[in-house]
A and B are shown apart, each in its own frame.
Chain A
């Protein structure tokens, strides 16, 4: 294998090239990117919309490959092992990798001028949206729609989220979570038009199916994507919703692999970057001699919107399993909600909204299939379970402890010098009557100095109530 051609110039393609080079592949690699610009982080388009990044900031590091920007792969000659581009260039390959990604679905919207309605899929789309000066309607209340609406608000634009379902992100969220998310979006200033479809556009307005209209100088369509499979289809490769691949990311043609948004593995089109990257890692390994297989990770959707902490873990249907242990907490007044299903001590699914710490902790436990802590509530609330055991080695210096986990060592006031309260009281009794004198006789307060106030308080109490302290000590 001397020459690898990658069709597609997105993040997964870049990751694959980096992996090939890290794995020692020194043959030639060509990257054919359909867009007429170098690769960039599509996942950061929202930061262009909200104004925190400029388009150039999204650039991916240049891959160690020949990069052909604006090279649209038009035809695949599997016998000759050649990809032909729309401009007629031919790229011979030993191994071909399809990383063609997906394209945005764009429903017909009568009356809409092309410069008023666009999807949000490419950098020019994001730049176009960021240039909006008036209200924007967002069509589609899935993850991208919600993120986009929040980004528009962060930019100071009026935004209306138009969604046919009963609540935003309703394919991932149950009714309660959806309601709280809708509330939260409302607090961020996003107008919601739920159970509504767009039926047309006229200057300044989006027309809805109930006869009403919402203000919309521009309309951004976030109605999902479809895998880009045309090239594979025309070449006769098996295609369902995506290009069908096995655990080695292989299509029916052993010289052709596919990964990322265009690939369908085990019936699943992931549509997410993380699995695409893992596929790229696996394929880079396979092509450089490692024996490995792609195994789907755990399903997880984390909303990326400032001011909303929301995650959906696992497949939604698993949450309905009556055999599951369900840990739930609903705190609508503070916009917090969590429901977690547990099988055999492991999280199998859940939704968390408004619990930033728990989201971080539970995501890791879910990803790695680790058992949940016994104290589920403490976990949801984002704190460690209190055990009454000191956090650090020094705090229990030489502690004799019982089998129940209860520390029986006397309380240490000065950890740096392992001085117990009892020792300070004894020193007082022997005549050390100030912090300085106690320091001289016991060394308390002479390390980090953090206990100085506490020793001073003890000193005061002893001065005021000597005798009482004896019992308390």
Chain B
């Protein structure tokens, strides 16, 4: 093995900012420093990033493949473990067909892993049943953005553009906690924050609108209404660069400010003030986050905010625009390269014959050999072990037992499988249920690329070898594919080889990486896709000359408000909404293993208004039972006077009885299949322990 450098420039393993960091191997272990030259974090790093090296040496880091025997997971060697998996897959396929084997990926996987996982599923498994946890994250905004602009890239402009804005509207996003270094770009603009909670971000807002959970769509429609009736519509822009305004207006016409006020709880005067701020700004942005998107109407809600941005003439102009703040580390790249049920590499639709022809030619198979679209993430999990659902599941880089909605049901479905395989770095809650657990490499132990929230492709670099017998996911896929009879060359094990193939597979697609190479990235070039050839400088700003529809125009969407799938009633009188805290990440599988982060955010809690707590017989620090029609979660009460008295909030990072997703339900957005994480009807009671 060649000598590894003692210091490498890489990126944080957590959120979609992908903060630039420098890792150094020191006697005491790996030290991380923020990279002052990387424009996204400008030398900043949050507590998660600073402490990320602790995950490399987590006490229960997986060192060996594990196979369940006699009810317990026991260490074994790779060959044995892969044989067990290949045998299991073969048995299931033989008895129930190719679609009986499913794959569940993750938005934290590198581009190379995501790409190869999709290829493995379609070719080695021949299954249509592949989706990933990004469905729970970006799918609604992606669907809305794709429909409006002809192309979905979280931010169609560099993050650094935000800092020069006069006004930024944040709909359902709390970056002060979820991606703190982003706030370095939001210090100068006046912020308009839409959030049911008075979050750390809302505290910094010039104007905070506090809609009832599940009513963001009505609010967005109302803001469009105000833009028109207050004379703030950019009529020239609408005429020159968009279509569909009339139909969108007809839906928004019914949402005058006083009606919106009654539905959302946001004062009519504040609605007017918000639109006025955006319209008066020379440079303004509308940004959405999971708060607006994780609903059974998430796509329509994101579309309604895009409508607002279009009405004010923001997208496709330097210094203004619409964007969605991607969540997971490679949430952007993860949705572009084929681990989504309906997509092929290069952000291509799996139903598009031209896309199938191109990708199959790169893969050396016939188009007919590619399966069609499969089930979306929740539908896939819900179908596991059922009569016509998958009987075997391979999970890479995800922990759905904690992060999926209706988590107890998802755990039951996983338990009904004939074969559950989990590749992870630590024994996550999902891994603990598996039949086979595969120890894989993580961030500082591997090369590859990720694509951050601004569509910039970044190099992840290896500092040190993985511990024990951990292998890269690429090697795992190679080993499995060859056991399933695939030619080995189809599944390269070095990230660079995979990337070279990804370049060809993405060529001509929406997310075109063909001009991006490790060499260019390593030479320090900042490359945002699309980058169609090696001479192309990349595309930091999309849509300046036109949108990605054939006529170059953006599409307004005629969307109408509807209620959440579940409304409070006498039995469940409160609304629970879920979200994040600064010191934990996603399902917590990584961050709950970092002592400093555990000290900062040690246990599940529920934020409750003091009056609501008093009526429920709860005080600060008491243990509460929060129950929905799906189940009960336990969490410690935090009194928050600024919360709406009809709403409670739970972070979803915690396992076991503290899982916020024990409460969430199975309502899905009909277009994106995004689950309704943000609204569950619940009741609150003291937990009495013997």
Contacts and interface: CB of A to CB of B under 8 A. Distances in A.
Contacts of B265: 360-361, 363-364
A274 B183 CA distance: 41
A359 interface: yes
Interface string A335-364: 000000000000000000000110111011
A357 B614 CA distance: 24
Given A448-B176, A450-B176, A357 B267 contact: yes
Interface stretch (B475-483, B503-511, B635-643): B635-643
A205 interface: no
Interface in B212-238: 212, 228-231
A58 to B, nearest CB: 7
Contacts of A416: 46-47, 180, 582
Contacts of B614: 374
B198 interface: yes
B645 A360 contact: no
Given A57-B228, A418-B47, A364 B638 contact: no
Contacts of A11: 254
Interface stretch (A107-115, A226-234, A384-392): A384-392
A52 B184 CA distance: 39
A448 B181 contact: yes
Interface in A291-315: 300, 302-304, 309
B646 A370 contact: yes
A448 B202 CA distance: 14
A88 interface: no
A393 B600 CA distance: 10
Contacts of A176: none
Nearest to A448: B183
Interface residues of A, number: 64
A52 B176 CA distance: 38
A274 B34 CA distance: 55
Interface in A404-426: 404-406, 415-418
Contacts of A332: none
A446 B641 contact: no
B247 A61 contact: yes
B177 A359 contact: no
Interface stretch (A27-35, A39-47, A117-125, A212-220): A39-47
Nearest to A357: B267
A391 B639 contact: no
Interface string B185-222: 00100000000011110111000000010000000000
Interface stretch (B138-146, B545-553, B601-609): B601-609
Contacts of B8: none
A397 B601 contact: yes
Contact of B197 (A390, A391, A447): A391
Contacts of A329: none
B253 interface: yes
Contacts of B257: 304
Contact of A389 (B183, B253, B266, B640): B640
Contacts of B229: 47, 52-53
Contact of B261 (A360, A398, A448): A360
B47 A443 contact: yes
Interface in B253-285: 253-254, 256-259, 261-262, 265-270
A247 B409 CA distance: 39
Contact of B620 (A386, A402, A450): A402
Interface residues of B, number: 77
Nearest to B183: A448
A251 interface: no
Given A361-B265, A387-B641, A52 B44 contact: no
A447 B651 contact: no
Contact of B582 (A394, A400, A404): A394
Contacts of A360: 261, 265-268, 270
B76 interface: no
B43 interface: yes
A389 B600 contact: no
B615 interface: yes
B177 A450 contact: no
Interface in B145-189: 175-177, 180-184, 187
Contacts of A363: 261-262, 265
Contacts of A397: 582-583, 599-601
Nearest to A305: B258
A394 B583 contact: yes
B642 A417 contact: no
Nearest to B42: A449
A186 interface: no
Contacts of B609: 373
Given A391-B198, A446-B34, A448-B180, A418 B600 contact: yes
A386 B45 contact: no
Nearest to A56: B246
B518 interface: no
Interface in A52-74: 52-53, 57-61
A401 B47 contact: no
A367 interface: yes
A357 B645 CA distance: 15
B206 to A, nearest CB: 15
A397 to B, nearest CB: 4
Contacts of A60: 250, 253-254
Interface string A4-33: 000000010000000000000000000000
Contacts of A402: 620-621
B43 A395 contact: no
Contacts of B231: 52
A199 to B, nearest CB: 35
A148 interface: no
B611 A61 contact: no
A370 B574 CA distance: 10
A403 B256 contact: no
A461 interface: no
Nearest to B229: A52
A267 interface: no
Interface in B565-593: 568, 573, 581-583
Given A394-B582, A443-B47, A386 B607 contact: no
Given A370-B646, A446-B50, A405 B639 contact: yes
Contacts of A43: 256
B132 interface: no
B558 A61 contact: yes
A342 to B, nearest CB: 14
B610 interface: yes
Contacts of A390: 640
Most buried by B among A11, A309, A387: A387
Interface string B20-51: 00000000000000100000000111110010
Nearest to B614: A374
Contact of A394 (B175, B200, B641, B646): B200
Given A359-B267, A393-B582, A416-B46, A371 B611 contact: yes
Given A357-B267, A370-B645, A447 B253 contact: no
Interface string A364-390: 100110110110000000101111111
Which among A370, A371, A382, A416 has the highest number of chain B CB atoms within 10 Å?
A416
Contacts of A394: 177, 200, 581-583, 600-601
A82 to B, nearest CB: 32
A382 B261 CA distance: 14
6 contacts: A300-B262, A364-B646, A385-B610, A387-B639, A394-B177, A416-B582
Given A360-B270, A450-B204, 5 more contacts: A52-B231, A53-B228, A373-B645, A391-B202, A392-B177
Which 7 pairs across A and B sit closest by C-beta, in order of nearness? Answer: A387-B641, A448-B183, A447-B180, A448-B180, A416-B180, A360-B267, A393-B581
Interface of B: 34, 43-47, 50, 175-177, 180-184, 187, 197-200, 202-204, 212, 228-231, 247, 249-251, 253-254, 256-259, 261-262, 265-270, 558, 568, 573, 581-583, 596, 599-602, 605, 607, 609-611, 614-615, 619-622, 638-643, 645-646, 651
